[in-house]
Amino acid sequence: PVLVVDFGAQYAQLIARRVREARIYSEVIAHDATIDEFKAKDPAAIILSGGPASVYADDAPSLDPAILELGIPVFGICYGFQTMAAALGGEVANTGGREFGRTTFTATDDGVLHRGLDRNQPVWMSHNDAVQVAPEGFVVTGSTPGAPVAAFESVEAKMAGVQYHPEVLHTPHGQQVLTRFLYEIAGLEADWTPANIADALIDQVSDQIGDGLAICGLSGGVDSAVAAALVQRAIGDRLTCVFVDHGLLRAGEREQVEHDFVAATGARLVTVDAADKFLAELSGVSDPETKRKIIGREFIRSFEGAVSDVLGDRAADGDKVDFLVQGTLYPDVVESGGGSGTANIKSHHNVGGLPDDLEFSLVEPLRLLFKDEVRAVGRELGLPEEIVGRQPFPGPGLAIRIVGDVTADRLSMLRKADLIAREELTAAGLDHQIWQCPVVLLADVRSVGVQGDGRTYGHPIVLRPVSSEDAMTADWTRVPYEVLETISTRITNEVPDVNRVVLDVTSKPPGTIEWE
């Protein structure tokens, strides 16, 4: 892999993504990893990321300089650029030329990285110190008002760096510069394609599971579907997929899993019909946290029941289901400090916290992938667009989109309204602009309306379209008025007992995406 050394700022993961967008595999590694840990990864190139501090600060994260002597191509960014300059005998100083935000980079005619690009380009900077003198043997290929040496490179040494952040969108040429380093200076080839990724993951899963039995909870979401499809390719029907229909799903979701997913993968699927049980347990409950707890608990019971069913008809005496497949993604792995991934677990939040006496080894085929890569692999495996292009939907389903207690009638109202909103947003071509659009029924609120000749006293439906990159923060999406108008007209005409449609124009924070 191309190793992106994390100096503790938030950029390393983004850089790894950008390298993969250039179709080269990359991973994030901690800056204090030992030289042996570096070597064990057999890196094709090393990228030193941005960091928080000055290279001269007492607590500055440092890098074992021996890493620069391994003969591996190196690219330095921001703090990583300065670290590299200092380690190779250049000069870094604070001369008051700090730059934060957009500035103009002026390229020279020399070198490979900026050849033929606009002479003056906007770039994104964030630095106090600046490289004053490049290391010997390196050509300086550009400057900014605050950094006399803002880029340098040595084709012979296969090393280069830039003071600005090429990985952010505010640096329009950034991806091109990074790609040139990878292809032209490091001499790497683009082989990280969906087909190669899928093949490699299928092999890995086969090795891990051997002739064991595995089980996978399908939620209807993208991640679990792609993880299951990969494992199915690897071990065939020694994988059983379990789908718990808790009755809180949206229109068409069960069919998507039972029909489209199975048709595309040939996976063995067990559906647990638990709608009545869930509804009974939720009866009279309107507190959001209580709803979530009940749903989590019932989910575990249903899943456990399914596991013993699978054992009943699949496994010989004494056999057990050894592996649990999870759709964990790379951002979760990096954010939780990056474990080794083969730990024997007793519980996991993704399936609602399984009880102590169920022991599985985890199979997490997507743990090195970003979301867009998961979608690409899913397409490669032949999963339909309705599944791979799907927007996030919370595990507790429509129950946390009914403000008030959950009843079958209310679920049916909400399902109709949600389907109309989805149909119209898709028809308007807005699916890529919208991260997700929860549709919420305010079941405890009524307002007066007029329809035909009569007075109505019905419920409002809230539309909550949001734009986001990761659901941690979000903005409300500016959906065109005509689309809102169509949705509103259809919902008030087609859904009995709904006489008002309102739009949620709150960002996150302060509002969360879901209402409960």
Smaller CB separation from ligand XMP, 106 or 507: 507
Smaller CB separation from ligand XMP, 63 or 282: 282
SS3 readout for 302-340: HHHHHHHHHHHHHCCCCCCCCEEECCCCHHHHHHCCCCC
SS3 418: helix
Residues 6 or more apart in contact with residue 239 via CB below 8 angstroms: 213, 214, 215, 216, 228, 231, 232, 267, 268, 325
Contact flag: residue 514 with ligand XMP (CB under 6 A): yes
Instruction: Considering only the stretches 96-104, 160-168, 487-495, 508-516, report the one whose residues sit in contact with ligand XMP under the rule CB under 6 A.
Output: 508-516
**Among the options 27, 153, 167, 253, which is catalytic?**
167
CA dist., res. 93 & res. 417, Å (int): 61
Smaller CB separation from ligand XMP, 106 or 512: 512
Residue with tokens 């964030």: 126
Q: Which of 471, 483, 502, 503 binds ligand XMP (CB under 6 A)?
A: 471
Please give the residues from 368 up to 427 whose contact with ligand XMP meets the rule CB under 6 A: 392, 394-396
> Least Å distance between CB 339 and ligand XMP?
21
Contact flag: residue 504 with ligand XMP (CB under 6 A): no
Kindly state the tokens that stand for 187. 């001499």
> Least Å distance between CB 395 and ligand XMP?
4
Smaller CB separation from ligand XMP, 452 or 510: 510
Active site residue 167: yes
Rg of the chain over Cα atoms, rounded to whole angstroms, equals 27
CA dist., res. 59 & res. 80, Å (int): 15
Residues 6 or more apart in contact with residue 57 via CB below 8 angstroms: none
**Among the options 78, 216, 241, 437, which is catalytic?**
78
Contact flag: residue 436 with ligand XMP (CB under 6 A): yes
Contact flag: residue 512 with ligand XMP (CB under 6 A): yes
Smaller CB separation from ligand XMP, 18 or 250: 250
CA dist., res. 144 & res. 151, Å (int): 9
**Among the options 31, 165, 173, 459, which is catalytic?**
165
HSE (CB half, 13 Å, CA atoms) of 186?
27
Q: Which residues of 66-96 are buried (b: 16+ CB within 10 A; e: fewer)?
A: ebbeeebbbbbbbbbbbbbbbbbebebeeee
**DSSP single-letter state for residue 184:** I
Binding site listing for ATP: 219-225
Interface size with ligand XMP, residues (CB under 6 A): 10
Active site residue 437: no
> Least Å distance between CB 231 and ligand XMP?
20
Pair 467, 474: CB distance under 8 Å: yes
> Least Å distance between CB 343 and ligand XMP?
22
Smaller CB separation from ligand XMP, 170 or 293: 293
- The bridge status of strand 439-442 relative to strand 447-451 is unpaired
Instruction: Write out the H or E segment, with its range, that includes residue 142.
Output: strand 139-144
Contact flag: residue 508 with ligand XMP (CB under 6 A): yes
> Least Å distance between CB 507 and ligand XMP?
11
> Least Å distance between CB 490 and ligand XMP?
23
Q: Phi/psi zone of residue 252: left (φ > 0), alpha (ψ -120 to 50 degrees), beta?
A: left
Binding site listing: 219-225
Pair 39, 29: CB distance under 8 Å: no
Contact flag: residue 513 with ligand XMP (CB under 6 A): yes
SS3 178: helix
**DSSP single-letter state for residue 12:** H
**DSSP single-letter state for residue 54:** -
Pair 33, 43: CB distance under 8 Å: no
Active site residue 514: no
Pair 122, 81: CB distance under 8 Å: no
> Least Å distance between CB 217 and ligand XMP?
11
Smaller CB separation from ligand XMP, 50 or 394: 394
Give which of 223, 212, 514 is closest to 350, Cα–Cα.
Answer: 223
Instruction: Considering only the stretches 207-215, 242-250, 408-416, 506-514, report the one whose residues sit in contact with ligand XMP under the rule CB under 6 A.
Output: 506-514
Instruction: Write out the H or E segment, with its range, that includes residue 151.
Output: strand 147-154
Smaller CB separation from ligand XMP, 116 or 510: 510
> Least Å distance between CB 241 and ligand XMP?
17
Active-site residue list: 78, 165, 167
Contacts with ligand XMP, residue ranges (CB under 6 A): 392, 394-396, 436, 471, 508, 512-514
